Every structure is written in structure tokens, then in C-alpha cells.
Amino acid sequence: MPGILTFALHYEGAINKNSQGAVSEAAKLSQQLGTECHAVVVGEGISDEAASSLGKFGATKVFRVEAPEGLAQPVVDAMAHLFEANGYDYALFGGGLLGFEVGAGLAARLHAGVTMEVTQVNVVDGKLEAERPILGDSSISTSKYKSRGIIIGRLNAFEIAESGGGAAEVEDVQVTLSGHAQKAKMLQRGEQRGADVNIEDASILVAGGRGLGKAEGFQLCEELATALGGAVAATRAVVDAGWYPYAAQIGQTGKTVAPKLYLAAGISGAIQHKVGMQNSENIVAINKDANAPIFEFSDLGIIGDLNKILPKLTEAVKAKKGS
């Protein structure tokens, strides 16, 4: 029964949140289409436990392909092979740099339609239609597919939902890698800063903007993030100014996050920033300008100077935690 094939990225034995959301979405849509959701994991020595855990999110079968991990072309080879062997109609997976590269390669290989940065997928007349925000997120464009469709979500756009399914069946598949897929080698994987915290997975983010005044201002965010057990994020303005690494940028041209708490310090709340963090459970903003747009979509707004407020917050959190 052809259905949806989804790709799940993992790192050190754990499937990442972005992929868990994509598998959940693919499983939900498969059910509506009356088909199944199958997943593929590509890497070296992926455990049965990690692969079969995708059953929790609704995948009924997981193909495990032994190939270099974290690189796009081996994934394209693996997915193209599975498409030809099993006749899937759609591929649906989470975005991010790797996801976009895999999507582009797979669309070219399969002569399929491709839509990136998708935030919603609907079943209409038994087919999938993908919605993607355009023009600075002021409008929505809808893609329909004449034959096969490759749908790539915006980072963390799809909600993680445990379907109540148990462990998925794991099938090992041999894929002959094309010559060009063997040319790149992964030397090292990790975040540019804060290797211990991945900002897409952090449940607390302390984000800094131009209101920090200078690169050194980020120390205030780092101290509070450390006290709270969270990570630091940034706006494009400060990343462009070289105050903080690009890996921490949130927004239209950065990452999309949905932590439990997003604390925005010295951030005006431009639409291009908002689209990357608006799904956070609680948004707290500190800004000295009472008319800053960020207050329009914050759960709690603090009007004042971040140079005074951030150190006090850090002190209060430390005192509460007794550290």
C-alpha cells in the first residue's frame, strides 16, 4: 500500500525533535489517506531501540540503512531506492539545512514536485496539499502535486504527537550508494556554541537582540540561561553584527523554535523574528520601549532596562535554586 515515506534524523542514538514532529504529521496524514507511514533512518550502527522508537509517533515500519551519517546524499540515495522499490506517493520530513538539501536532491532524482518551509499539510480529495508562508509570512501559498510530492516542513513546524503505537518493525535495507554520495565525509558534528545544548531542543531560551548594546552584552543572557538550565538564542541583527553565532539565530532566515519559555531581551519583535518563536508556550519580553511590537505577542512584558533586569533575574533564579 503506497503511502508516505518520512526521514528521521538522529544524533548519538536519539531521534531529534524536528523529526519526531515530522513522523507524527506523516502518520496522521497517512491515516487520513488510508495508507501507512514508513520511516527511514540512515547512519552507522543505529540501535534497534532508536529505530523502532519511531513507532511511538505512528510509523508502522522503519527502514534502517547503514551509510555515512548526517550527510544529505546518502539519504537521497536511500529514499530514492525505497521510493522505486515501494512506490510511495509522498515524502514528508522536517526542514533544517540537511532536510532542505535532501529534499532538493530527492525531487531532482524522482522528478517530483517539492515544497520547502511548509507549516501545514491538508488532505483534499484524497491527495496532499502543502501550505507554505510567503512574502515575509504575510500570505500563504498552497502546493498541489501532479504525481509524487516532496514536502519539507519548517523546522519544528509539526507538533510531536505520540500515537499510542508500540515499537515499529525495523527492516535493514542494503542501498548501493552513488559515486558522488561517497565523496563527502563527516568529520565532526556539533553546535557552534554550547555543544551541550541544541537550541531547537532546549525548553528554555534566553534570546538577545540589539538592545544588548554590544557583543559582551550576551554575557547577561548566558548567565541567566545557565541559571535556568536553558540556552541562548539571538536575532538576525546581532548575528549580522557578529555579536553571536549564526547557529543561534531565530526567525525567518534562522531557526524555528517552540520552547516552554522564550525570554526576549532587547528584541523589538520584527515579523521575521516572530515567525521563528511565536509558537513558544510562554513569551516574556524585556524592552525599554513600551510600544515595542514584541509586547503585542508576549504573555508577560517587562518595560525597563535589560542591564538592570537580567542580572536581578539571574540572582533571583540562583537564590531560588539555592546555587
Ligand X SMILES: Cc1cc2nc3c(=O)[nH]c(=O)nc-3n(C[C@H](O)[C@H](O)[C@H](O)COP(=O)(O)OP(=O)(O)OC[C@H]3O[C@@H](n4cnc5c(N)ncnc54)[C@H](O)[C@@H]3O)c2cc1C
Nearest residue relative to ligand X (C-beta): 251
State the minimum distance, in angstroms, from the CB of residue 215 to ligand X.
Answer: 13
Select the residue interacting with ligand X from 305, 315, 319, 321 (CB under 6 A). Answer: 305
- Cα–Cα distance between 276 and 264 in angstroms, integer? 12
Alpha-carbon torsion (102, 114, 275, 19), positive or negative: negative
HSE (side-chain half, CA atoms, 13 Å) at 188 = 4
Which DSSP letter does residue 149 get?
Answer: E
- Of the ranges 9-17, 78-86, 121-129, 231-239, which one interacts with ligand X (CB under 6 A)? 231-239
State the minimum distance, in angstroms, from the CB of residue 304 to ligand X.
Answer: 7
DSSP assignment of 169-223 equals EEEEE--PPPGGGGT--------SS-TT--TTT-SEEEEE-GGG-SGGGHHHHHH
Please answer whether residues 149 and 113 qualify as being in contact, where contact means their C-beta atoms are separated by less than 8 angstroms: yes
State the minimum distance, in angstroms, from the CB of residue 137 to ligand X.
Answer: 10
Toward ligand X, which CB reaches closer, 162 or 305? Answer: 305
Terminal-residue alpha carbon distance, the chain: 57
Interface with ligand X, residue 251, by CB under 6 A? yes
Number of chain positions touching ligand X (CB under 6 A): 28
State the minimum distance, in angstroms, from the CB of residue 17 to ligand X.
Answer: 19
Interface with ligand X, residue 287, by CB under 6 A? yes
Interface with ligand X, residue 286, by CB under 6 A? yes
Select the residue interacting with ligand X from 237, 247, 261, 317 (CB under 6 A). Answer: 237
Sheet strands (E) in the chain: 4-7, 10-11, 14-15, 37-43, 61-66, 90-93, 113-118, 120-124, 127-134, 139-144, 149-153, 169-173, 204-208, 231-234, 261-265, 282-287, 300-303
- Of the ranges 49-57, 117-125, 143-151, 204-212, which one interacts with ligand X (CB under 6 A)? 204-212
Please answer whether residues 98 and 92 qualify as being in contact, where contact means their C-beta atoms are separated by less than 8 angstroms: no
Interface with ligand X, residue 267, by CB under 6 A? yes
Select the residue interacting with ligand X from 210, 223, 224, 262 (CB under 6 A). Answer: 210
Toward ligand X, which CB reaches closer, 123 or 302? Answer: 302
- Cα–Cα distance between 323 and 318 in angstroms, integer? 5
State the minimum distance, in angstroms, from the CB of residue 266 to ligand X.
Answer: 4
Toward ligand X, which CB reaches closer, 99 or 149? Answer: 99
State the minimum distance, in angstroms, from the CB of residue 319 to ligand X.
Answer: 23
Select the residue interacting with ligand X from 91, 306, 313, 314 (CB under 6 A). Answer: 306
The C-alpha cell at 276 is 521563528
Toward ligand X, which CB reaches closer, 174 or 291? Answer: 291
The C-alpha cell at 132 is 507554505
- Cα–Cα distance between 23 and 54 in angstroms, integer? 7
Residue 292 sits at the vertex; the CA angle it makes with 290 and 293, to the nearest 5 degrees, is 135
Interface with ligand X, residue 18, by CB under 6 A? no
Contact residues for ligand X, defined by CB under 6 A: 209-211, 235-238, 249-254, 266-268, 270, 272-273, 276, 286-289, 292, 305-307
